[in-house]
Structure 1
Amino acid sequence: MATITSRPVAAPASRERTARPAVSICIPAYQARRHLRATLDSVLAQDSSDFEVVVIDNNSSDGTGQILEGVADPRVRVLRNAETVPMMDNFNIAVRHSRGRYVKVVCADDTLTPDCVRVQAAVLDAMPTVSLVSARTDFIDDGGEMMRPDRGLPGIVGLQPADHVVRRIVRSGTNPIGPPVAAMFRRADFDRCGGFHPVTSFLSELDLWVRLLNRGEFFGVPTTLAAFRIASGSTTALTSARSQLRQQLGFSGRLADDVRWNITTADVLYGRLRSYDMQLRRTGLYALSNLRNRRRCAAARTAGEEPDSDAGAPDRS
């Protein structure tokens, strides 16, 4: 395990929060200079007052640390790994250093709407049987422009039993719950189910969602509360389409073998067909984001400007 250097940002020690916050927003960051400021701005603009922000800089070398040194907000705590660790290890480190009852993991290139934390925390407050709450998300490109609005939660809006949601995962051929930025969960459940597992970088969040669903029900918020960036240099973009498809099919097969989820042969076959279609769509989105990014860089050069050298840099670890 890497050594952690902890530094509260802003505030002298006497002004730091000592009470346990309701929500911890955890931001694992690596080579995140390009989008980190936008992520932090959206997180700190929440209309809830009862939250903390924990940022783990995974030994970045691109200026991420300088951005974090400039943050002057007593709600923010910054920790830095002494050496770069695998992506899922960094996610787990971020959550382990959280103090809130509820946890929201936000990758360092995604953003939240101002009401996101308040709405999702209210669900967990009101429904003690719910172990995972998620919301719809917008898909945006490297430059923050809209690609696809209001995505996620097909057939799983509102209060849903866990087995129904897992069956929808198999039948959808993808991740209907959404990425980490869409979700919120209880810290106690996260600890009991073992946190993020390095199953594959592509499916680790979906694997966690299923293990959380083994502890309770699901609630899908029918509004858009976050934006997920289709970043051209992200881990998903750099994983081959064939590998992603193989991982998805293997994961669905393992769910089908687990008798607690009541998955039928018809569910598996339908999901297999859907997997091919969803993989084509996913590949197309990342290709379009990459094309838009290249065009922006070319336009900047034509205008005599220096394009962002971090374009396409991986933010998700």
Structure 2
Amino acid sequence: MAGPRASVVVPVYQAERHVEETLRSVLAQTYADLEVVVLDNACTDATPHILARYADDPRLRVVRNATVLPLAENWNAAVSLATGDLVKVVCADDLVHPDIVARQVAAFEADPGLALVSCRRHIVSEDTRVIASDRGLMGLTGRHSGRETVRRVVRNGGNPIGEPGCVMFRRVDFDSTGGFDASLVFPMDIDMWVRLLKFGDFHGLPDSLAAFRAGTGSISAGVTAAMYADQRRLTDRLGSDPFWQVDRTSRLLGRAGNVSSQLRHRALFLASARANRRFGAGRELDWSL
């Protein structure tokens, strides 16, 4: 019997604070031909008990690791559990619009040449108040060739495509890349998106169909100078890779873009820290389009 068309995988670790809200947003999808796979990375907090509340949902499958896996290994293991042709990874504190899977599957079905579909997103605080609206995909809405997309990534110096919750990809392409690169942390997602673009083109949906939580416990909140250096090295590597045919102007702009990306990231988390201290600051998340 054929599997589902699409899979949403949620790798979780010590996620008791937000995982229920995340899971509810994933299970609220309007797209019917869907499976949801949660990989419990040997959590010792209340996460397993929260997940157990949803055991009756036939779309949901929960798998538990015997021991804690490193980040990239855990994400790769989560994707390996998916049986759908199209996959998206949603971090255990982020949120997705009820129509995101339907919209992204429709984009793939309309254009067999696509390797990657993303969308814009809101930035939310710990208590799910919007602190920044409609972010991402600068110059990348609509259809773009893989090479054009990577040139824009280099110019940006950061991750204009978006976090995992924004993105959907083909499982067969992911398997061909060998998975997320464990030598990277901060740029691990944009490195994967670029490698997937060797298999096809990119489409950016103009609506904000995901919400990234800029919380104090997120990976991005603890970014260090060494992680920024990883991002800079990745940008330089992409710019010098002959496959992508990146022009000299884009490479030079990318150096400046690395600095501005760092400043934007720091400003975002400072704003988030202020919002988190003022519980209820910012507007409520509203998924109306």
**Category of TM-score, reference length = shorter chain:** over 0.9
1:156 aligns with 2:140: yes
SS at match of 1:124: helix
Q: 1:89 aligns with which of 73, 79, 87?
A: 73
Provide structure 1 residue ranges, at least 5 long, that are not aligned to the other structure: 1-17, 298-317
Query: Displacement, 1:147?
Result: 1.3
Query: Displacement, 1:69?
Result: 1.1
1:76 aligns with 2:28: no
How many residues matched?
280
Provide structure 2 residue ranges, at least 5 long, that are not aligned to the other structure: 281-289
User: Take 2:180 and 2:247, find their aligned partners in 1: how far apart are those partners?
Assistant: 27
Q: 2:273 aligns with which of 290, 295, 313?
A: 290
Contact 2:123 / 2:211 at 8 angstroms: preserved in 1? yes
SS at match of 2:210: strand
TM-score, with structure 1 as normaliser:
0.85
Residue by residue over 1:42-93, the C-alpha shift from the partner in whole angstroms, topping out at 9 and shown as x without a partner, is 1111111110000001011111011011113111000011100101111111
User: Take 2:248 and 2:112, find their aligned partners in 1: how far apart are those partners?
Assistant: 33
Q: Which amino acid in 2 is paired with 1:171? A: R
Rg (Cα) greater in structure: 1
Q: 1:269 aligns with which of 232, 249, 252?
A: 252
TM-score, with structure 2 as normaliser:
0.93
Identity over aligned pairs, percent: 44
Q: How does 1:119-198 map to 2 (within 5 A)?
A: 119-198=103-182
**Structure-2 residue corresponding to 1:99:** 83
Q: Which amino acid in 1 is paired with 2:236? A: G
Query: Displacement, 1:294?
Result: 3.5
Q: 2:24 aligns with which of 41, 47, 50?
A: 41
User: Take 1:54 and 1:19, find their aligned partners in 2: how far apart are those partners?
Assistant: 17
**Structure-2 residue corresponding to 1:56:** 39
SS at match of 2:43: coil
Q: Which amino acid in 2 is paired with 1:228? A: F
User: Take 1:104 and 1:252, find their aligned partners in 2: how far apart are those partners?
Assistant: 24
Q: 2:99 aligns with which of 112, 115, 125?
A: 115
SS at match of 1:85: coil
Contact 1:199 / 1:207 at 8 angstroms: preserved in 2? no
- Cα RMSD, aligned residues only: 1.5
User: Take 2:264 and 2:195, find their aligned partners in 1: how far apart are those partners?
Assistant: 27
Contact 1:27 / 1:108 at 8 angstroms: preserved in 2? yes
Contact 1:55 / 1:94 at 8 angstroms: preserved in 2? yes
